Structure 1
Amino acid sequence: MASRKDTLVRRANRVRRQIKAVANGRPRLSVHRSSKNIYVQVIDDVAGKTLASASTLDTDLRSSLKTGADTAAAAAVGKLIAERAAKAGVKDVVFDRGAFIYHGRIKALADAAREGGLNF
């Protein structure tokens, strides 16, 4: 029987494989969620560089948030990454949720990033 870690790794690889098939050169909006914080990066896989990043650990967000582990914090990070991606000249991305199911904090981040101007 597969362990929980094996299941998560398989799911993340499956999602990443599907993303690479439909990316067409677009950068990847990669999300990582821990029990206390949420992190997001816009990654150019062709060049292997991070174009923009944001998390609940950023100093400007940290002071305004009650906690880094709720949907309000995820929405704030989504708006921040949309602003930083626009500064970097990125408008169209491919959403990489990793091994995380698309609901709760992941969905709140994605919705806020869309409202901020990112297309995916």
Structure 2
Amino acid sequence: MNAATKRRQARLKRKVRVRRKVRGTVGKPRLCVYRSAKHIYAQIIEDTTGKTLAAASTVNAEVADGLGYTGNVQAAKAVGEAIARMALAREIKEVVFDRNGFLYHGRVKSLAEAAREAGLSF
């Protein structure tokens, strides 16, 4: 097994551990974050019905405009602000944060902090 496979398996083990505790409800949906090398994605999901209520990522043109590179902390902040705006437009003020097995550091942390500053609470 190479190092990349071990890292991926470790993340998936953390993901399972976190998802045992984190559930999105109607009153408090789940804010799920996924990051790749080039992009970062955020979704607000209601787990009781399995529906995505809002989504933002650096793939979206309105978020990626003005960003030189989409795989850095500034891009994550832009996605955090965008997902918070979308949530507040749908009158979602409170969410549970699902870091999806990623460590709460760097881009994941900056996305969460930007969403909090824009008005979401978790």
Q: Same fold (TM over 0.5)?
A: yes
User: Which residue of 2 is the match for residue 29 of structure 1?
Assistant: 31
Query: In the TM superposition, what is the alpha-carbon distance from 1:119 to its structure 2 partner?
Result: 0.5
What amino acid is aligned across from residue 81 of structure 1 in structure 2? Answer: I
Alignment size in residue pairs: 118
The residue matched to 1:91 in structure 2 has which SS? Answer: coil
Q: Does 1:6 align with 2:26?
A: no
Local SS of the residue matching 2:22: helix
What is the CA distance between 1:5 and its match in structure 2?
2.9
Give 1:118's aligned residue: 120
Q: Percent identity?
A: 48
Q: TM-score, normalised by structure 1?
A: 0.91
CA RMSD, 1 decimal: 1.7
Query: How has the CA–CA distance of structure 1 residues 27 and 3 changed in structure 2, closer, same or farther, with 3 Å as cutoff?
Result: same
Separation in 1, partners of 2:93, 2:10: 32
Aligned counterpart in structure 2 of residue 73 of structure 1, from 68, 75, 83: 75
> Could you say what secondary structure the match of 2:76 adopts?
helix
Q: Which runs of 5+ in 1 are unaligned?
A: none
Gaps of 5+ in 2: none
Comparing 53-62 and 23-32, the one that deviates more: 23-32
Distance 2:49 2:91 in 1: 15
